[in-house]
Structure 1
């Protein structure tokens, strides 16, 4: 965080100051009072279950020097605003604009990533590809999936005078979300990965999702650049919406892409290798070999997106390939692979799910299990699909059968139609099992998993299967350590 006085915070947010004007914020900006430390700014967000105003005193007791709140708080140094969440965004916009307007020193470049799938992996890869180019601490990357109207400003507010790159994940569940986020942090480089059916129940249509993702294209700074997935027709079409003076660079597997993956191979562990082919304008193409450490063929496009950004920022092709080959997973519950001592392989991809990512996860399970190991898919509900939910879950169940997954365990009423689809497609007997909740799934898996099994755990975050992923990844190790 760049140091700010209470007066500056009030000016940035349009708030009313109820504190010593010279009080200074020197620590982090937080929305959780338990994270308060010396010099922090606590933003008191009202909520359906808890109200941040009730925890403001605790934050100040723990060292926070200022509170951003919707009302005066007796005895607490406060900037009062109409809407603390909106004020948080305004504060982030102010801080980033100030950092960019510096006449001397380092000016941060902003890279923003959106898409229906792959955002978190791509920004994690970017953090690793760009990191070696800068001093320690000079790159700020979104933690986890803090990609909304609260998480993104909190990430922006981690900027310091030493920040050279700010890598942001931008999510959307409504038209206008990306436009709002790019107003807070206009990207120097905007990346669009894909247009899928995630949140279609809220958006109403895939066309509306495409419209929302295209807000990234119009949100980049004047003279900035846009990186688009040439393999996705809806994304590729966004090139027609780019403003004059904005450059466009494409990635994908089709021959016309500026940055391509050629000769893709998938090993027995589900990891991809390929030739990174780069067309640098009118000159001859450059090539370099890449072997990813990430599990899943779908990560090839995420790697290409990160490579395209990094190449555009001046890193040579050979160096990009080397860094891609050494990059590792950085966020939990996203194709996280655990090799248990009993010989069971757990693929925990339970942070989120939509039809596209569910299909990718199942294909990865089939590849890793191969012909010699038993494949087990433990699947929960995909949320926010609206009227398309039943058909989407049914389709996943049918795909499980077509991929010859040996065992399907469907968890929870919201996912029931996966089981129904599998039965309609030809599963019989105990090949597909429906269980009502996590406890039943845990009991079944603990009793039935065998050495050599490969288990995929996947669902939307709200379905809660991440807890089952944790259990399966740790259960046998803990058991063995207590023998």
Structure 2
């Protein structure tokens, strides 16, 4: 973070200096919510949380070098006291991040949103932008009202780009995040079914995602909206922004497009990138055809920053997977391939994962281990049955459904009359591991996908420690 005195932070956050806090003391280290990450010059933000109270770790944070603690009740170390509880502390954190961004006019803020693909696209952007200049981006899916400002506060005077993943649990959330760090470039990937239970319908989801393009500055001030031309709900957002619109996709009319898409023998996409009147071949290190759109979104941003087709293609080809449990492909010594895509799931990402499994499984026996998709609301049963039909139609040999809430997946698969595979329903992760341990043979491929609460990454981790029987 840029160096700020405690009295300046108190002014920004509307807090009071307490507990021997010195007005001229400097915070120039990281801003953290975990006392174990405290370091010399840091600011520790104490939140009560569901399981632990950060105030109980205030002394440990200062002992580790933190200059002070931002908190909502008095502690026995230098602190900045905010009136209220966690909500007010989080609001103060947001104000601090907003003030820091305002001090960094040389840093371009780039926001990415969508129902799926946000983290992968953000990871791609972080890597390709890092070739141009110092870049700050969140780890994993650090994209909410706490993770967002904490990421922003890692920026300093040397930062050239801040690439942010902006998520929403309801209307107004993205607008709030954009007020913390106003983006110049906004990327909207897709409008799908994720969090349908919270939003109610796709129209409301589209309204929430479009808050990103509404927050962009007008075209004459450099604002750029990067929109997926292949998603009608996203393309329609062009009418909601004063920024200049750039489209990407497979459509022939897209400003940045991919031609001749295919997958290599390991499931990694190859295509010709067409942008700015030029073209260049791209071979991604990411797995799955759905990664093409993520790569094109990153390509559009790079082109807006002055990079040509050849340079963009080179950058995309060198970027690799970063965040865990997203199409992680690992081969065991016995030849069994484990595809760990267990971080989260919605109907669209389930479909993409099943298509990828089909592409990777040519000539091999395939297992799809699927947990339920959370937050679908009234569409829960229908969408799970649809995923089951997709699994059967894609030719999965063995479908393993995990947990009672995934029962609809098995029912959907059973409705496909000509499917020659089988379904095994298990109660939990332990049963899934046991079933796979008994059934997997050398050269089989198994893919794991479900919402985060299903915990299917545990299946992948345990599978990697076991070899199949001959």
Report TM bin, short chain: over 0.9
Q: Which residue of 2 aligns with 1:309?
A: 301
Q: Which residue of 2 aligns with 1:103?
A: none
1:261-294: CA deviations, max 9, x gaps? Answer: 011112222111111111x3xxxx2111111111
1:52-72: CA deviations, max 9, x gaps? Answer: 222222222222111111122
Q: Which residue of 1 aligns with 2:430?
A: 439
Equivalent of 2:184, from 173, 179, 188?
188
Give the alignment of 1:386-401 within 5 angstroms.
386-401=377-392
Distance of 1:98 and 1:211 partners within structure 2: 31
What TM-score does the superposition give when structure 2 sets the normalisation length? 0.95
Distance of 1:261 and 1:473 partners within structure 2: 35
- Match of 1:294, SS state, is coil
1:178 partnered with 2:174: yes
- For the Cα contact (< 8 Å) 2:39–2:65, is it kept in 1? yes
Equivalent of 2:320, from 307, 322, 328?
328
Q: Which residue of 1 aligns with 2:101?
A: 96
Distance of 1:43 and 1:52 partners within structure 2: 8
Distance of 2:297 and 2:39 partners within structure 1: 37
- Match of 1:425, SS state, is coil
Describe the shift of the 1:160–1:75 C-alpha distance in structure 2 as closer, same or farther (beyond 3 A): closer
1:377-405: CA deviations, max 9, x gaps? Answer: 01111111111111111111111111110
Equivalent of 2:454, from 463, 467, 478?
463
Runs of 4+ in 1 over 6 A off after TM superposition: 427-430
1:214-266: CA deviations, max 9, x gaps? Answer: 000111234211100000000000001112xx211000111110001011112
Using the TM superposition, give the Cα deviation of residue 48 of structure 1 relative to its aligned residue in structure 2, in angstroms: 2.5
1:149 partnered with 2:140: no
- For the Cα contact (< 8 Å) 2:395–2:419, is it kept in 1? no
1:347-374: CA deviations, max 9, x gaps? Answer: 110011000000000010001001x101
Q: Which residue of 2 aligns with 1:265?
A: 262
Q: Which residue of 1 aligns with 2:16?
A: 16
Distance of 1:167 and 1:301 partners within structure 2: 18
- For the Cα contact (< 8 Å) 1:191–1:228, is it kept in 2? yes
Using the TM superposition, give the Cα deviation of residue 314 of structure 1 relative to its aligned residue in structure 2, in angstroms: 0.7
Distance of 2:303 and 2:420 partners within structure 1: 53
Using the TM superposition, give the Cα deviation of residue 81 of structure 1 relative to its aligned residue in structure 2, in angstroms: 4.1
1:253 partnered with 2:250: yes
Using the TM superposition, give the Cα deviation of residue 427 of structure 1 relative to its aligned residue in structure 2, in angstroms: 8.1
Using the TM superposition, give the Cα deviation of residue 11 of structure 1 relative to its aligned residue in structure 2, in angstroms: 1.1
1:108-137: CA deviations, max 9, x gaps? Answer: 111110000111111111112121122xxx
Distance of 1:42 and 1:427 partners within structure 2: 59
- Match of 2:168, SS state, is coil
1:128-178: CA deviations, max 9, x gaps? Answer: 2121122xxx11112111011111111000001110011111111111111
What TM-score does the superposition give when structure 1 sets the normalisation length? 0.93
Q: Which residue of 2 aligns with 1:287?
A: 279
1:421-447: CA deviations, max 9, x gaps? Answer: 212334889810010011111111122
Describe the shift of the 1:313–1:409 C-alpha distance in structure 2 as closer, same or farther (beyond 3 A): same
- For the Cα contact (< 8 Å) 1:72–1:80, is it kept in 2? no
Distance of 2:349 and 2:166 partners within structure 1: 18
- Between Structure 1 and Structure 2, how many residues are aligned? 461
Equivalent of 2:200, from 196, 200, 204?
204
Distance of 1:348 and 1:56 partners within structure 2: 38
- For the Cα contact (< 8 Å) 2:98–2:181, is it kept in 1? yes
Distance of 2:102 and 2:83 partners within structure 1: 21
- Please list every run of 5 or more consecutive structure 1 residues that lacks an aligned counterpart in the other structure: 101-106
- Match of 1:274, SS state, is strand
- The RMSD of aligned alpha carbons is 1.6
- Match of 2:464, SS state, is helix
Describe the shift of the 1:427–1:78 C-alpha distance in structure 2 as closer, same or farther (beyond 3 A): farther
- For the Cα contact (< 8 Å) 1:339–1:346, is it kept in 2? yes
- Match of 2:115, SS state, is coil
Using the TM superposition, give the Cα deviation of residue 407 of structure 1 relative to its aligned residue in structure 2, in angstroms: 0.6
